[in-house]
Amino acid sequence: MAAVGLISSCTLPLVPLLRPRIPKRSPSHLHTTASCASKDYYEALVLGGGTGGITMSARMKRKVGAGNVAVVEPHEKHYYQPLWTLVGAGAKQLATSSRATASVIPPGVKWIQSRVQKLDPDENCVYLENNQKISYKYLIIALGLQLHYEKIKGLPEGFKHPKIGSNYSIHTVEKTWKALQDFEEGNAIFTFPNTPVKCAGAPQKIMYLSDAYFRKTGKRSRANIIFNTSLGVIFGVQKYADALLEIIKSRNITVNYRHNLIEVRADKQEAVFENLDKPGVTEVYQYGMLHVTPPMGPPDVLLNSPVSDAAGWVDVDKETLQHKKYPNVFGIGDCTNLPTSKTAAAIAGQSGVLDKTISSIMKGKTPTKKYDGYTSCPLVTNYNRAILAEFDYNAQPLETFPIDQGKERLSSFHMKAHMMPLLYWHGLLKGFWGGPAPIRKLLHLGLK
């Protein structure tokens, strides 16, 4: 729920006239189920039909031809998840974040609508549901990550009660907006789990938007806004952390570091947090609104897989995205162990590098293009303001524009809200957007 490479990722409604028309698909674009797939071998097999998977299937189509590429993806819908921050704040409709999966699969590329059950890189094959075996020459793993609401006692069943929501799930994002509207008084609590997450800025974006909504509706004086985070800092890049702390101070928001949500008693409107610096110590908070960011982890199929590290993330070289053991296997996006923030912007930057890496491997050459860890997070701080954070592996700012992006700006919000969805659907997913590095170099006269 981050940035689409700048330009960004997590958005106010687009002007109806700007809404792109989705073309009708010809029969060649229709999917096949695993049981009736027309082939059991593809030169390029892509696992996952999310951002990274669709992007790389478009790029691989240009390398080896559409008929030699297949995407394995079980879901009928593809979502632009960065939009859900604004859906949860009532600034966007959920329906505007989705398209049919069939409409985003590159024309001619096979969509195998199934789930991956097992990866066997030693035999260059994967097994799908019904024990369907698909072999490949090159494998791109783009399986995303998995939400674990169930690791919080009382969830997900607690979402049946009012005053609680989560922008991270299609099933709960609209509950955030309902909880925001129904809030009358008391604690409005926003959480950050003790695990890796996608779009690490999203848990606090909805907090700033809630503050703005309470002020707009005259409820702010009755609201005690609390950010309980398992982290020890507000943000991992000092420049943007300093800017956010100023906002937090000016808006009278309470931040409790090293506090991890472990239980929700939704019937009593109570949230229980553990103090990570004091093992065994817990605190119970009453809430009038609760936004939950769930624990996250790698998909089950990657746990204990030959392609994964000990934690279950796809084990790739952080510069080339090539697997460390299997030279014809590659990873992209949230499912990898790349030490950068998991955002759509990161995927954009990774896709350009991975494209070059695979081209080199196909030619028998050593990859030379290197990924610098570029990622971006448009930190929405109001319904018309955002801080456009961009940074690298070293948590150093890597800003595109020759202005101070650490300041709240209307222009940054418009990029997030209006430009990024268009860039996502018509640039990134088509395999034409590999991040803003060329623009950055041009705007900084080649100095960055």
What residues act catalytically? 199, 377
Instruction: State how far the Cα of 133 lies from the Cα of 153, in Å rounded to an integer.
Output: 38
How remote is the C-alpha of 394 from its chain's centroid?
20
Residue 158 contacts residue 138 (beta carbons within 8 Å): no
CA distance 289 to 183: 6
What's the full length of the chain, in residues? Answer: 448
Report the alpha-carbon angle 179-180-181, nearest 5. 90
Instruction: Give the C-alpha separation, 213 to 54, whole Å.
Output: 35
Give me the helix-helix angle, 344-362 and 51-64, nearest 10°.
30
> For the chain, what is the largest distance between any 2 Cα atoms, rounded to a whole number of angstroms?
65
Preceding omega of 156 cis (within 30 degrees of 0): yes
Whole-angstrom Cα distance, residue 397 to residue 11? 23
| Residue 65: how many other CB atoms lie within 10 Å | 13
- Alpha carbon distance 362, 186 (integer Å): 60
Contact 34, 132 (CB under 8 A): yes
Burial of 135 (0-12, 13-18, 19+ CB in 10 A): middle
